[in-house]
């Protein structure tokens, strides 16, 4: 199951989610811990949360009419802000932590807020998780950016004895903005 090929369909408004409180809590705590790793610049630990076949994707967005709204996001393989596999994520982390990537030297200060976390269990043990986010970034003395949107994650159970209960197999980030005013997308969402 991947979320990158198409946006998961939301459950009908009349059908309440039946996720157990224990599962909901476990997923939320995992996502909060992941956000803390990013805010604390612990990128190697963050990368360890990802599966080897992971995909991290930020499609571009275009404003469309009501009848064309299903075409707002660029399809997989077309234009994207980011479309990385595990090795490309590792390369981005090497650049960010090298001290020579101008867009992150000195490093951005970030704060990630996550809300409306919705969990759907798949028959194969994978979890489809939708999360609304707001990310604040402060750079240098006066530069500030805000990013708002929704994430579509696929989580897989982690191996026995792992510190974290899940591994991220897939993430699609959908910004609410069609035009990003930030000078770069050099942080992770």
- Whether the pLDDT of residue 2 is over 70: the answer is no
- How do the domains of the chain map onto residue ranges? 21-175
How high is the pLDDT of residue 18?
A: 77
For a pLDDT cut of 90, what percent of the chain falls above it? 62
Q: Which residues contact 82 (CB under 8 A, 6 or more apart)?
A: 56, 57, 58, 173, 185
Q: What pLDDT, in 10s, does the model give residues 104-139?
A: 888 899 999 999 999 999 989 899 999 999 999 998
Alpha helix ranges (H) inside the chain: 21-39, 43-47, 86-98
Strands lying side by side in the sheet with 80-85: 80-85, 50-59, 166-175, 143-157, 127-139, 109-121
Q: Could you give phi then psi for residue 40, rounded to 5 degrees?
A: -90, 5
Q: What pLDDT, in 10s, does the model give residues 22-46?
A: 999 999 999 999 999 999 999 999 9
How high is the pLDDT of residue 103?
A: 83
How high is the pLDDT of residue 15?
A: 65
- Please state, in angstroms and rounded to a whole number, the distance separating the CA atoms of residues 89 and 101: 15
Taking the domain 21-175, which CATH number applies? 3.10.450.50
Q: Which residues contact 89 (CB under 8 A, 6 or more apart)?
A: 47, 50, 54, 56
Which range is most confident: 59-63, 76-80, 130-134?
Answer: 130-134
How high is the pLDDT of residue 78?
A: 81
How many helices and strands, by DSSP H and E, does the chain display?
3, 6
User: How large is the average pLDDT for residues 58-74?
Assistant: 79
Q: How many C-beta neighbours within 10 Å does residue 15 have?
A: 8
Q: Are 165 and 26 in contact (CB under 8 A)?
A: yes
Where does the pLDDT of residue 4 fall: very low under 50, low under 70, confident under 90, or very high at 90 and above? very low
Q: What pLDDT, in 10s, does the model give residues 82-96?
A: 899 999 999 999 999
Structure tokens at 43: 């990128």
Q: What pLDDT, in 10s, does the model give residues 174-187?
A: 999 888 888 788 89
Q: Are 17 and 120 in contact (CB under 8 A)?
A: yes
């Amino acid at each position: 199951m991947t979320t990158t090929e198409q946006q998961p369909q939301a459950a009908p408004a009349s059908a309440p989610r039946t996720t157990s409180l224990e599962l909901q809590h476990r997923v939320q705590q995992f996502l909060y811990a992941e956000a803390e790793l990013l805010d604390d610049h612990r990128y190697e630990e963050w990368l360890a949360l990802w599966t080897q076949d992971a995909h991290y994707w930020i499609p571009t967005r275009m404003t469309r009419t009501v009848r064309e709204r299903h075409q707002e996001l660029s399809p997989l393989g077309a234009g994207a802000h980011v479309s990385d596999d595990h090795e490309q994520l590792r390369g981005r982390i090497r650049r960010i932590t090298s001290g020579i990537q101008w867009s992150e030297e000195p490093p951005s200060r970030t704060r990630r807020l996550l809300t409306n976390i919705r969990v759907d269990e798949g028959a194969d043990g994978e979890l489809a998780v939708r999360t609304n986010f707001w990310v604040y970034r402060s750079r240098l003395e006066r530069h500030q950016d805000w990013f708002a949107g929704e994430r579509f994650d696929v989580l897989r159970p982690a191996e026995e004895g792992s510190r974290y209960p899940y591994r991220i197999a897939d993430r699609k980030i959908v910004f609410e903005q069609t035009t990003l005013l930030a000078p770069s997308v050099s942080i992770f969402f």
